[in-house]
Amino acid sequence: MQAFRNCGLCASGSLLKSRADFLVARRNLAVLRLSAACVQLLKDKANVFCRNPAPQHLLRLPEVARSNRVTFSLASSLCAVPFTQQAENLSHESLIRRASCLVTDSANTYLSQTTLALVDALTQYAKELHTLIALQKRYINSIGKLTPAEEDSIWQVIIEQRVEVSDRLEACKRFESNWMNAINICELSADAAYNSGAEHACTATKTNLQVAQSKVEELRKISKEADKKLAETKAEEIQRMAEFASSISIPDLENEAYLRED
């Protein structure tokens, strides 16, 4: 009886094991079917791309689909390209060329800042000159019409404006000295870039030099014209003062001669 029971238990265990194996096999079969469906979907997509080639700038998916493997030699050659370029970039010529480009960049920055400072200084100088010219003309037109207090007041304003013009002129001289240094540095850096093979950096630096020199020359002409107008105004002031002095002295001399006759 005990042996019969043991046989029954063994049969039940075998039955349960067989059922578990059947479930595992069924699950594996489902996974296999799903994988096959995915592979078929990829093949269909590949066939679609083969019939309608992608643009040049996209990935070449048809070629990848045709060849389901990538050789190790191709992968090795692709990986070797960056290292070859890196070794080439470490040559003396390449390092000198890079250094010359850095020098031209710094020189262009220095030139840009000094040009901006000089242009601003020249602009302010011309502005103060025109203000002084306006004050001088105002005084000329009012000669002989002002009281001593009014004349002293306008002369005080003129003197202050002359001091302002002098300060602006000193600023122009100071910034012009820095600008000339920047011009010399840019010329040297352009030559160095050309000699090292960095033609693009050389061309860009020379272009910046031409632009800076043209802008400064334009402002210099404006300042010179203002200086010329101021000189003309001073000459007119001297002439008007002489005329005013002569117009005052002649009646006085006539009165003095009349009194002597009496």
Per-residue model confidence (pLDDT) at position 32: 57
144: exposed, middle or buried (Cβ count in 10 Å: 0-12, 13-18, 19+): exposed
Q: What angle do CA 64, 66, 67 make, to 5 degrees?
A: 65
Rounded to whole angstroms, the Cα distance separating 69 from 48 reads: 20
**Average pLDDT, stretch 126-150?**
88
Banded pLDDT at 140 (limits 50, 70, 90): confident
| 197's tokens | 């093979």
Residue 133 in domain: yes
Per-residue model confidence (pLDDT) at position 147: 84
**Average pLDDT, stretch 66-90?**
43
Q: Which domain holds residue 226?
A: 92-252
Residue 166 near residue 80 (C-beta atoms within 8 A): no
> Nearest to residue 208, comparing CAs of 99, 113, 117?
113
209-248 tens-digit pLDDT? 999 999 999 999 999 999 999 999 888 888 888 877 777 7
150-175 tens-digit pLDDT? 888 888 999 999 999 999 999 999 99
Rounded to whole angstroms, the Cα distance separating 117 from 215 reads: 12
Q: Would you list the DSSP string of 28-54?
A: HHHHHHHHHHHHHHHHHHHHHHHHSPP
Out of 52-61, 64-73, 85-94, 100-109, which region has the weakest mean confidence (pLDDT)? 64-73
Q: How many CB atoms lie within 10 A of CB 194?
A: 17
Number of domains in the chain: 1
Is the model more confident about 20 or about 120? 120
Q: Would you list the DSSP string of 89-145?
A: HTSHHHHHHHHHHHHHHHHHHHHHHHHHHHHHHHHHHHHHHHHHHHHHHHHHHTTTT
Residue 67 near residue 50 (C-beta atoms within 8 A): no
pLDDT at 186 over 90: yes
Per-residue model confidence (pLDDT) at position 49: 43
| 125's tokens | 């100088």
Banded pLDDT at 24 (limits 50, 70, 90): low
Out of 54-68, 103-117, 214-228, which region has the weakest mean confidence (pLDDT)? 54-68
Distant-in-sequence, close-in-space partners of 93: CB < 8 Å, separation ≥ 6: 196, 197
Residue 192 in domain: yes
Per-residue model confidence (pLDDT) at position 72: 34
Per-residue model confidence (pLDDT) at position 234: 86
Q: Which amino acid is at 109?
A: T
| 108's tokens | 């262009």
Percent residues over pLDDT 90 in the chain? 42
| 169's tokens | 């002129």
Residue 243 in domain: yes
Residue 27 in domain: no
Is the model more confident about 64 or about 220? 220
Is the model more confident about 181 or about 60? 181
Q: What angle do CA 179, 184, 189 make, to 5 degrees?
A: 120
Per-residue model confidence (pLDDT) at position 81: 39
Per-residue model confidence (pLDDT) at position 28: 61
Residue 146 in domain: yes
The mean of the pLDDT values for the chain is 74
Residue 185 in domain: yes
pLDDT at 132 over 70: yes
Per-residue model confidence (pLDDT) at position 16: 45
pLDDT at 256 over 70: no
pLDDT at 189 over 50: yes
Torsion, Cα of 149, 150, 153, 157 (10° steps):
-160
Rounded to whole angstroms, the Cα distance separating 104 from 2 reads: 102
CATH number of the domain bearing residue 127: 1.20.58.70
Rounded to whole angstroms, the Cα distance separating 199 from 36 reads: 59
Residue 145 in domain: yes
Residue 142 in domain: yes
Radius of gyration, CA atoms only, the chain: 47
